[in-house]
Structure 1
Amino acid sequence: MEWTETGVVLSTRKHGEADVILEVMTAKHGRHLGLVRGGRSRRRQPVLQPGNEVYLSWRARLADHLGVFAVELAKARAANLMTSALGLHGVQHLASLVRLLPERDAHQSVHNALELLLDHLDDPAIAAPLLVRFELEMLAELGFGLDLAKCAATGSTDDLAYVSPKSARAVSREAGLPYHDKLLPLPSFLVNGQRQRGSEISYKDIQDGFQLTAFFLERNGPTNNASTLDLRSSMIAALEKSYRTTQPWDFFDDPPLSG
């Protein structure tokens, strides 16, 4: 058995004195593991850093074997990611989400979204809405997608402002107003045709987006373990700090955090 493809490095773990088990996300072969001989060498270690894109050649005698990877660097991202807290925590959080997917199941949309996000983690204004959208994509791939196309109560596509926590469907402002304290806010950047540019998205929109995805990830996905929640919290804290150092204070709906 053999295949060749590019993939994004998610993690490595030691195997013996010189080798590593490499975990990657690919478009056609999904999240995949394999042995890299000599992966702990000085020459190999910089290539096998989380976030890097690599050329992969996988070979095994049988399809269900771990197999062996031959690896070459395709696109170096790790050095840039390691220069910021957002980059460091962001790549760990993304890897933890991808790890929710079954091994070796193809999820091309997740792979493509992962690459796009990793290329923009150095810009919080671009990364923030992409991170929210990535979590929505993960919910869809796990079978718990949200229906944000039209109002669950009226069928209207206008002025969608809430999401029902029971049905995971959008609700218009007018229909949801009597029940607004029981509904989740729907930021307009998640509604097709409304405010797509990152410069038009406030941090309150981003907070509402993360509140929305957190509710459904914690209810439907196996993400309520302490490790996953800590990674997500660290990433969001780093994102907010990055925002507050690059945006004017009137960009936020609340006063700056002390310290």
Structure 2
Amino acid sequence: MEWEAPALVLSASPYGESSAIVHLLTEDLGLVHGLARGGTARANRALWQPGNLIRASWRGRLPDQLGNLSGELVHGSAARLMSAPLALAMLASACAVADGTLPEREPHPRIFHLLTRFFSLLSLDPDMAGWGGMAALLRWEACLLGDLGYGMDLSACAVTGGSAELAWVSPRTGRAVSDAAAGEWRPRLLRLPPLFLNESDPGTVQDWRDGLRLTGHFLARDAFGQRHRPLPPARLRLVDMIDALQPGALHPDD
């Protein structure tokens, strides 16, 4: 059994003296694992960095075994972000969330394409990542939740049925609530930043904080919670970085 396909590197863990267990995300095969012989050797280490787009080759006796991986670099996102800590933290968080939630060998082509586009956005202009990167990451997390069956319903207010002034989300049902209908329940609801409703909105620092709290709630309760796993450290580090940002640090409208 063998296949070749474009793939995103999500993680690589040392195995033995010089090999690595690599987790890849592909369009048609979903999340796949493989053994990269010599993967931790100096000559190959850069290839298996999380966030890289590669041309992967997999070979094994059976389709469900841990086959042997090799690859050629197509686009090295990780190396381009070494001097951009926030963009690198976004990339690491997205890789860890995808790696920890997606079921093995189940195709999720929309998630693959959105993640590929997101990594390109970060790596082609790391200095601009603070303007649109966080909003793109949060919208990608919302899409991931939807693909996994835990999506939020942001189409209309759960109370009135209208679509105007949606400003909150029920932490229990994931349904949107308008500001007028929130009433006394407002302190118990999760704020819905406008960037989830408008793809051209880059958001503010406060929007990013509220967005991370919103998607983080459903990731922790459902996507990771169903697997009895905590949120990955990479995402928690991103939350800490955004919490530490001063208003106006990255976006002129903050």
Q: Does the pair score TM above 0.5?
A: yes
Which 10-residue stretch deviates more, 216-225 or 48-57?
Answer: 216-225
SS of aligned partner of 1:58: strand
1:92 positional shift:
2.4
1:149 and 2:155 matched: yes
Superposition RMSD in Å: 2.2
Q: Specify the code of the residue in structure 1 equivalent to 2:234.
A: L
Where structure 2 has 5 or more consecutive residues not aligned to the other structure, the ranges are none
CA distance in 1, matches of 2:29, 2:22: 14
CA distance in 2, matches of 1:227, 1:188: 24
1:236 and 2:239 matched: yes
Asked whether the 8 Å contact 2:52–2:78 carries over to 1, the reply is: yes
SS of aligned partner of 1:131: helix
1:186 and 2:189 matched: no
For residues 206-258 of structure 1, give each alpha carbon's deviation from its aligned partner in whole angstroms, at most 9, with x where no partner exists. Answer: 22212211222222232685661x3223113334549754334xx43xxxxxx
Asked whether the 8 Å contact 2:135–2:201 carries over to 1, the reply is: no
1:56 and 2:56 matched: yes
CA distance in 1, matches of 2:247, 2:144: 24
For residues 12-66 of structure 1, give each alpha carbon's deviation from its aligned partner in whole angstroms, at most 9, with x where no partner exists. Answer: 1222323222211111111111122222333222222111110011111111111
For residues 136-175 of structure 1, give each alpha carbon's deviation from its aligned partner in whole angstroms, at most 9, with x where no partner exists. Answer: 1222122211000011122111121111222211112222
Alignment of 1:144-223 (within 5 A): 144-191=150-197, 194=198, 196-198=200-202, 201-222=203-224
Where structure 1 has 5 or more consecutive residues not aligned to the other structure, the ranges are 253-259
Q: Which residue of structure 2 aligns with residue 247 of structure 1? A: 251
Asked whether the 8 Å contact 2:87–2:130 carries over to 1, the reply is: no
Q: Which residue of structure 2 aligns with residue 257 of structure 1? A: none
Asked whether the 8 Å contact 2:87–2:133 carries over to 1, the reply is: no
CA distance in 1, matches of 2:221, 2:25: 25
Asked whether the 8 Å contact 1:36–1:68 carries over to 2, the reply is: yes
Cα–Cα, structure 1 residues 63 and 241, in superposed 2: closer, same or farther, change >3 Å? Answer: same
For residues 168-199 of structure 1, give each alpha carbon's deviation from its aligned partner in whole angstroms, at most 9, with x where no partner exists. Answer: 111122222342222221112212xx47232x
Q: Which residue of structure 2 aligns with residue 28 of structure 1? A: 28
Q: Specify the code of the residue in structure 1 equivalent to 2:120.
A: D
Q: Specify the code of the residue in structure 2 equivalent to 1:185.
A: R
For residues 111-157 of structure 1, give each alpha carbon's deviation from its aligned partner in whole angstroms, at most 9, with x where no partner exists. Answer: 11211222233211111111211221222122211000011122111
Cα–Cα, structure 1 residues 244 and 225, in superposed 2: closer, same or farther, change >3 Å? Answer: farther
Q: Which residue of structure 1 aligns with residue 93 of structure 2? A: 93
CA distance in 1, matches of 2:25, 2:199: 31
Q: Specify the code of the residue in structure 2 equivalent to 1:117.
A: F
Q: Which residue of structure 2 aligns with residue 82 of structure 1? A: 82
What is the aligned residue count? 245
Q: Report which of the two structures shows the higher radius of gyration computed on alpha carbons.
A: 1
CA distance in 1, matches of 2:209, 2:194: 12
SS of aligned partner of 1:112: helix
Alignment of 1:9-24 (within 5 A): 9-24=9-24
CA distance in 1, matches of 2:13, 2:191: 40
Cα–Cα, structure 1 residues 87 and 196, in superposed 2: closer, same or farther, change >3 Å? Answer: closer
Q: Which residue of structure 1 aligns with residue 3 of structure 2? A: 3
In the superposition, the TM-score normalised over structure 1's length comes to 0.85
Moved over 6 A (4+): none
CA distance in 2, matches of 1:105, 1:226: 22
SS of aligned partner of 1:196: coil
Which 10-residue stretch deviates more, 206-215 or 84-93?
Answer: 84-93
